[in-house]
Chains A and B, each alone.
Chain A
Amino acid sequence: MTIQAPPASPPAVVPPRPAVSRRRRKPNLFRTLSRVLIMLIVIVQVYPLAWLFLTSLRTEHDFATGDPFALPSSLTWENYARAFETGDLGRNILNSFIVTMGANILIVLFGMMAAYAIQVLGFRLSKLVRGLFLIGIIVPVQIALVPLFIDYSAVNLLDTYQSMIIPLAGFSLPMSVYLFSSFFEYIPRETYEAASLDGAGPYRIFGLITLPLSLNTVVTVVLVNSIFIWNDFIFANTFVLSEDLKTIPLGLQNYIGAMGKVDWTATFAAVCVTITPLLLVFLVLNKAMIQGLESGATKG
């Protein structure tokens, strides 16, 4: 394939410059400009979060009167004390953890099983099943709220961990199936044939070959889904009522007091506490997570 000079079509948005200087000096100017621009955009992305943290260390008086951009006049941990008094943050974090674990187990195990059936075992309607899974990626989760609410109340599942885990796992399953099947494509056919000759059936092959080989994909699937499940608001808000079962997003809402009055500095302290677990995971595993998010889209 030969590369031709771009056709002389008009969209010359870049103003014409002397062609000679362009290659020498412009890249530097361009590079400086891009650096400045990137810095600005990164500040827009990160500063609000830094501000959130700083505010959680401000005194209430400082928050109500001061310039929002100014550094706190004095640092205090009192907001954190009030945050723990107002809400049951430990309980909320534990609940989020239970829901995230439960959903992830289903997503990984079932995603792997479905992908194994589709990609490795093969069956006549496998194309149709793949297509069915596509629906779950396209449609918004909200459409399941009314039907699930009705079904749950019929079988007494309202206000349980399962009521959150089932739809969270169900809606994440398609991406998991796609990720696992695209990984299974890379396991060479000969591996399976050799195992078959040794007399291994589909169950042993799944347990002894497919499962151990896919550990990397498991990490990807878990990391990507955990972000969404940990932060789920809508299912928890619709199906859970009792304080004992409230996950982090619901727990944070408790900080809006009667008459909509909010103790902002304590709320921000609570937000900081609840962000921390996922933030730590993210910062420690950020290479794996970033890779996961990239592959999640391109293969999914």
Chain B
Amino acid sequence: MQPNRMLPNRSRTSVLVFLLPPLLLYGAAVLFPILQSLFLSFFSWNGISDMEFVGLDNYVRMFVADDIFWRAFLNALLYLAICLVLQLGGALLVASLLTSLRRGRELIKTLYLLPAIISTVAIAFLFVRIYSIDPVGLLNQLLHWIGLGSLERPWLSDVNTVLAAVSAPEGWRFTGLYMLIIYAALIAVPKELEEAAVLDGASRWTLFTKIRFPYIRPVWITTTIMATTYGLRGFDIPYLMTNGGPGQSSELLTTYMYKTAFTSTDFGYASTISVFIVVECLVAVGLILFLLKRKAES
């Protein structure tokens, strides 16, 4: 019946003693708030007056009448795409290159990971200066030097570049984390497999696509899920650097939800957006599992 049970004489009480405190904390901090958000999403409430039940009004407003919501949703998807390319693409590239190095691997791993330990507030300060045009920041100066001076611009106040500009720091920050994970998987690929393929005349590219990548696929799925869920919860850097602006050019669902809740004190509608974000995350994870697993079977 209970294959997991290792202690023959454990009592029911002892299970509760060990399980209840963690479940209470987790319930109070995570599970209950999710249910509460669901509940609040059917109400109109500013935190002070009486709560008013409005049925599905908030959802109708969100899907039908709120242009900012859709704008924020599209922005969030683009933000996610940029983060994924930088984080996973960069991670896979560096991890693969690293396996061909003979020395200095540990040092490079450490250096590459360094941005991950810096707080988002510090990163926001740093990148405001990098993108700055007066006094000229690192990016504009670099463009000037390599002869692309025409591209110089105030990256954070140009509506065409601001979203990419707030996404890049997030990608930059965590690519080292994913690189570590992918690198650990890559060096676990059995050497015999690779050597046999090389003897058979496989090029580096075929070696990668036919041997290495299939071998690390489970880890790749995990990292993709991690990077996606982290990308969808992106908040700090856009909030701190532009607060969603100029206009709504860099508004994400999370920043929009935050402002709806704590600037407009519209708790009901903010909860509706929260519910949407939860559903979005669950759908994203489901999609990744579905797509990547199916590909593995074919």
A residues lining the B interface (CB < 8 Å): 3-6, 11-14, 19, 22-23, 30-31, 34-35, 37-38, 41-42, 44-46, 48-49, 51-52, 55, 63-69, 106, 110-111, 113-114, 116-124, 126, 129, 132-133, 135-151, 166-167, 169-171, 173-174, 177, 189, 192-193, 196, 201-203, 205-206, 227, 230-231, 233-234, 238, 248-250, 252-253, 255, 262, 264, 267-268, 271, 274-275, 278-279, 282-283, 286-287, 290, 293-294, 297-298
Contact = CB atoms under 8 A, between A and B. Distances in A.
A227 B117 CA distance: 6
- Which 3 A-B residue pairings sit nearest by Cβ, starting from the closest? A170-B29, A140-B233, A122-B4
A290 B180 contact: yes
18 contacts: A19-B201, A23-B198, A34-B100, A35-B101, A38-B94, A44-B172, A67-B141, A68-B141, A110-B21, A122-B3, A139-B229, A144-B33, A170-B29, A202-B11, A205-B7, A231-B120, A252-B119, A297-B181
A148 B33 CA distance: 7
Interface in B36-94: 36-37, 40, 47, 90, 93-94
B150 interface: no
A298 B222 contact: yes
Contacts of B175: 45
Contact of A173 (B25, B108, B184, B226): B25
Interface in B1-20: 1-11, 14-15, 17-19
Given A122-B5, A170-B28, A205-B7, A140 B125 contact: no
B177 to A, nearest CB: 6
Q: Which of B14, B137, B267 has the largest number of chain A CB atoms within 10 A?
A: B14
A140 B36 CA distance: 15
B222 to A, nearest CB: 6
Interface residues of B, number: 112
Nearest to B193: A3
Given A35-B101, A142-B257, A166-B29, A135 B119 contact: no
Interface string B257-293: 1100110000100110011011001100100000000
B6 A113 contact: no
B29 A171 contact: yes
Interface string B171-213: 0100111001100110000000100111011111110011000
Q: Which of A14, A106, A233 has the largest number of chain B CB atoms within 10 A?
A: A233
B23 interface: yes
Contacts of B271: 146-147
B29 A167 contact: yes
Contacts of B14: 121, 201-203
B177 A120 contact: no
Given A140-B277, A142-B254, A231-B120, 18 more contacts: A12-B206, A14-B203, A31-B101, A41-B90, A42-B112, A52-B126, A114-B23, A122-B2, A129-B19, A136-B31, A140-B235, A147-B36, A196-B8, A233-B240, A249-B119, A267-B125, A275-B119, A297-B219
A139 B235 contact: no
Nearest to B8: A196
Contact of B112 (A41, A67, A135, A189): A41
B146 interface: no
B26 A136 contact: yes
Interface of B: 1-11, 14-15, 17-19, 21-23, 25-26, 28-34, 36-37, 40, 47, 90, 93-94, 97-98, 100-101, 106, 108-122, 125-127, 129-130, 135-138, 141-142, 172, 175-177, 180-181, 184-185, 193, 196-198, 200-206, 209-210, 219, 222-223, 226, 229, 232-233, 235-236, 240, 254, 257-258, 261-262, 267, 270-271, 274-275, 277-278, 281-282, 285
A1 B244 CA distance: 55
Contacts of B137: 68
A80 to B, nearest CB: 15
Contacts of B101: 31, 34-35, 38
Contacts of A234: 235-236
Nearest to B234: A140
Contacts of A150: 36, 47, 267
A139 B275 CA distance: 10
Contacts of B111: 42, 45-46
Contacts of A48: 115, 126-127, 130, 138
Contacts of B40: 146-147
B7 A120 contact: yes
A244 B258 CA distance: 24
B267 A133 contact: no
Contact of A264 (B17, B129, B282): B129
A202 B181 contact: no
A298 B262 contact: no
B37 A147 contact: yes
